[in-house]
Amino acid sequence: MSDFLARFSDRIFRRRILMSVIGVLICGLSVGLFKRAAFGVDPFQSMMSGLDAVIPIPFGTLYMIVCALLLTFSLIFDRSKIGIATFINLFLLGYVAEFSLGLLTKWFPEPSVWLRAIFLILGIVIMCLSSSFYFTADLGVSVYDAIALVLSEKQSKIPFRVLRIMADFVCVLIGVLLCLAAGFSWKEIFASVGIGTIITAFFMGPLIDLFCRKIAKPFLDKARAD
């Protein structure tokens, strides 16, 4: 505890914590936008949508429980990927996503296709921006990101990108199967696994890199320069 308080007195460390909190908060907003757009969400959220369809508890609580279960994997095999930001993500993101989706549903009960497309674009941009803050802060990764990272280091024969694709595929498959089990139509399933899922898989990387270089890193560098 004393070590943490000593670190917290450092201006740069406080800025990194702030960046982690900002990243998680606006990431939660982006998840709400993705869900209201109903054009597909990222692979992990597609699995969460399937779980949400069959487990009758609030999404925020469900997200926290699933992440806590996944956290045990990293705690057992490699704790180096776990940091303050991991727990900020675990306890906040699900509830922020649930709150933002509730507001969007209240404000836009029957969004047009064009408005849904705007939600999708905003969701992608905001999610990439949040990821840039989260990654640049470098205070731990989400429990889902940690799984592929740990496996790639423990099993060096399989590159991280391959393991991440495999993990994403498994998440999407689980999400689809759970939605089918819940009696969802394919139209309803495509709200979780659709064009938004494809876009996040192929185009988020370059945009996150751009935001890291143009926004997140300058934001952190400003604390070092002051």
Interatomic CA distance for residues 87 and 93, integer angstroms:
10
Q: How far is CA 101 from the centre of its chain?
A: 15
pTM across the whole model: 0.81
Is 131's pLDDT higher than 70? yes
Residue 140 Ramachandran class (φ > 0 left, ψ -120 to 50 alpha, else beta): left
Interatomic CA distance for residues 64 and 147, integer angstroms:
16
| Helix, coil or strand: residue 150 | helix
pLDDT of amino acid 118: 94
Secondary element (H or E) of residue 145: helix 143-154
- In a domain, residue 3? The reply is no
Parent domain of 89: 12-225
- In a domain, residue 44? The reply is yes
Percent above pLDDT 90 for the chain: 22
Is 4's pLDDT higher than 70? no
- In a domain, residue 151? The reply is yes
Interatomic CA distance for residues 177 and 170, integer angstroms:
11
Query: How many structural domains comprise the chain?
Result: 1
- In a domain, residue 94? The reply is yes
